[in-house]
Structure 1
Amino acid sequence: MKSSGFYGQTVKRFFHLQQEPVSLITRSLRNAEIAVTETRDDAPIEGVSGEMGLQDANVVTLMLYDDPNCETWERGRRAIKADIRAGATYLYDMKKDVRYIINKPFHALHFYLPRTALDSIAEQSNAPRVGELPAQLGAGHDDPVIRHIGGALLQALRKPAEINQLFIDYAMLAFTAHAAQIYGGLRWRVRAPRTGLAPWQVKRACERLDSDLGGTLSLQQIAAEFGLSVSHFSRAFRISTGLPPHQWLLRQRVQAAKQLMTARDLSLAEIAISAGFANQSHFTRVFSAQVGASPAVWRREAQSTNESES
């Protein structure tokens, strides 16, 4: 299937990759598709990159390798040679047919950010439309927020089966809001809500999340049930519960796993799947991080406690 944004097959062709890279995609903002893709090639095919595809969108790139003396083209002409720094963020305007000379190993994280996403986040914030982002070739930005979000998404890209859609939606919403504010000059006309959801909304939202431990529901689906924007719902849910939706879901998975370990004679692999984890390894990592002990150790201690009490 041919992708319309800068992800999937488009990224494969642009960097002349042998295989299509993994992308994470969210559609939680109305009429917008936002994606993030990791690219890495330590022995690339040298030459001019392919086409990004002309459209009203930006590519926001977090560089993970240095690219000294990088030659970049715009609208069919050589535009600049510049030293591209690992750890810096660069903005590219897809309306300008940006290409570059591939002549050394590369590693980067690319966010596809269409105009529709910027318009949607401005609408949800009751703010004026965001202007053009400052996509100046060779101009890197020291952006610790993009580095932080990128680091979290890199782990997700490498183990996509272990990541629920709520986390992808939440992280990409945070990225979009940040890019709109820092680079697009988004100015909030109203304060973010300081109050949480109504009690009945909290109850209903938690029931919906609890019924889908596998994490297939999107933030958009849940927020729509209350007639709220995704950003409003996410903030209000966190105020009400103390956790963002994806972390609340992980906590519920751990609680479900504990119940299964004490009530039924199942293997840890069976418990992992039943509680919504991708596999036993995923279950062990999340459980150990939250509880401070591995599932096997916790189960032995729980069984020992039950035996001593009976």
Structure 2
Amino acid sequence: MPPAAQEAPASRQPDSAPKDTLGCMSSHLRRDQGLRANGVDIHRKTMDMHQLHHVETEASARGVLLGISMRDGHSRRILDGHRASCHDFDKGSIYIRSFSDRYRADIRRPFDFVLLEISPASLERAIEEKEGKRVGSLAYVAGVRDEVLLNLACALTPALEHPASASMLFVDQLSVAMTSYLVETYGGAAAAAPRTNRLLSRSHEARAKEMLRSKIEGSISITEIADACGLSRSYFIHAFRETTGYTPHQWLIAQRLEHARALLTDFDMPLADVAAACGFADQSHFTRVFAQHSGAPPGIWRRRMRIGS
């Protein structure tokens, strides 16, 4: 890689050129997808241009930004005062930075990032919920590979591609998991207390299931349920899975499908009405999920039931 001093200066766009909230020229982005889940803004941003260009954001109180590279071959030069550092990003490489610092970088090559903008309140809650000694802040890293965050980011991409049919419970569950993991892994050297088997009490299990059933379309957050049970969000997710064998989102999908199978025995009920009654975004979303879990689309499943009866 040639020294920074020998490179052409970063291209400058007119001040009036539209920029996104992270300082990129909007016209440079081939893909700019976004979701919001309980204090965390989630994006996927892709740029295919090879032209060197400059990004910049002023200091603010927006919290922390996590970026996860979804492909190989990106690099950037990060400017800090009179110093500069160069970082390469392959698939699974991450960066963590605080919005409290002014950020300037020269983008050298195309990129594809899943990004989480974690609000101060969301980060503080994750820090409060962490077992062991309190973490003061996150380490700032760039170009570090993290397979756990890559896998979680890959799980988020279908929701970013199809936000209308995305389960907000699922997105919220993943954002809590990623924020908790960040605090555990990049929050300093404090040792966490050993984990024991986590189980929900019968009353907490019943309350959580009742709340999930009452919002069968998934318009409920992990925070709402955890608060109702008086538990931390990360503890609730682990305890629910240990108790039921499912994550909250998996359990809710199972309930939707059970309800759908019961409604499908009414052979005159339109599939679109079944989909709406079971909390799916539309008939195509219902068909896709039903076929994935049942081995056949709902129409074929219903015909088999009719023949069997």
In which range does the TM-score fall when normalised by the shorter chain?
A: 0.7 to 0.9
Q: Which of these residues, 11, 16, 37, is aligned with residue 25 of structure 2?
A: 16
2:162 counterpart residue number: 159
2:257 counterpart residue number: 254
Matched, 1:210 2:219: no
Deviation, structure 1 residue 68: 5.1
Checking the alignment, whether the CA contact within 8 Å between 1:39 and 1:109 is kept in structure 2 is yes
Q: Which of these residues, 265, 268, 286, is aligned with residue 268 of structure 2?
A: 265
Cα deviation, 1:47-75, whole Å, max 9, x if unaligned, reads 32131543373322111344555232234
Q: In structure 1, how many angstroms separate the alpha carbons of the residues matched to 2:235 and 2:136?
A: 23
1:297 counterpart residue number: 300
Q: Which amino acid aligns with 1:14?
A: G
Residues 76-91 of structure 1 mapped to structure 2, 5 A cutoff: 77=82, 79-91=84-96
SS at match of 2:143: coil
Taking a change above 3 Å as real, the CA distance of residues 199 and 170 of structure 1, as seen in their structure-2 partners, is same
1:5 counterpart residue number: none
Q: In structure 1, how many angstroms separate the alpha carbons of the residues matched to 2:22 and 2:117?
A: 15
1:70 counterpart residue number: 76
Q: In structure 2, how many angstroms separate the alpha carbons of the residues matched to 1:234 and 1:93?
A: 27
Matched, 1:107 2:118: no
Checking the alignment, whether the CA contact within 8 Å between 1:57 and 1:113 is kept in structure 2 is yes
Q: In structure 2, how many angstroms separate the alpha carbons of the residues matched to 1:69 and 1:194?
A: 42
Q: Which of these residues, 111, 124, 128, is aligned with residue 129 of structure 2?
A: 124
Cα deviation, 1:261-294, whole Å, max 9, x if unaligned, reads 1025122222112211111221122111211222
Q: In structure 2, how many angstroms separate the alpha carbons of the residues matched to 1:58 and 1:41?
A: 22
Cα deviation, 1:60-108, whole Å, max 9, x if unaligned, reads 2111344555232234x46123433233112223233122224543321
Taking a change above 3 Å as real, the CA distance of residues 57 and 12 of structure 1, as seen in their structure-2 partners, is closer
Q: In structure 2, how many angstroms separate the alpha carbons of the residues matched to 1:212 and 1:72?
A: 45
Unaligned runs of 5+ residues in structure 2 are 1-17
Q: Which amino acid aligns with 1:198?
A: S
Taking a change above 3 Å as real, the CA distance of residues 253 and 96 of structure 1, as seen in their structure-2 partners, is same
Checking the alignment, whether the CA contact within 8 Å between 1:125 and 1:190 is kept in structure 2 is no
Deviation, structure 1 residue 45: 8.3
Residues 222-261 of structure 1 mapped to structure 2, 5 A cutoff: 222-261=225-264
Checking the alignment, whether the CA contact within 8 Å between 1:269 and 1:280 is kept in structure 2 is yes
Taking structure 2 as the reference length, what is the TM-score of the superposition? 0.83
Task: Report the identity percentage.
Answer: 30
1:94 counterpart residue number: 99
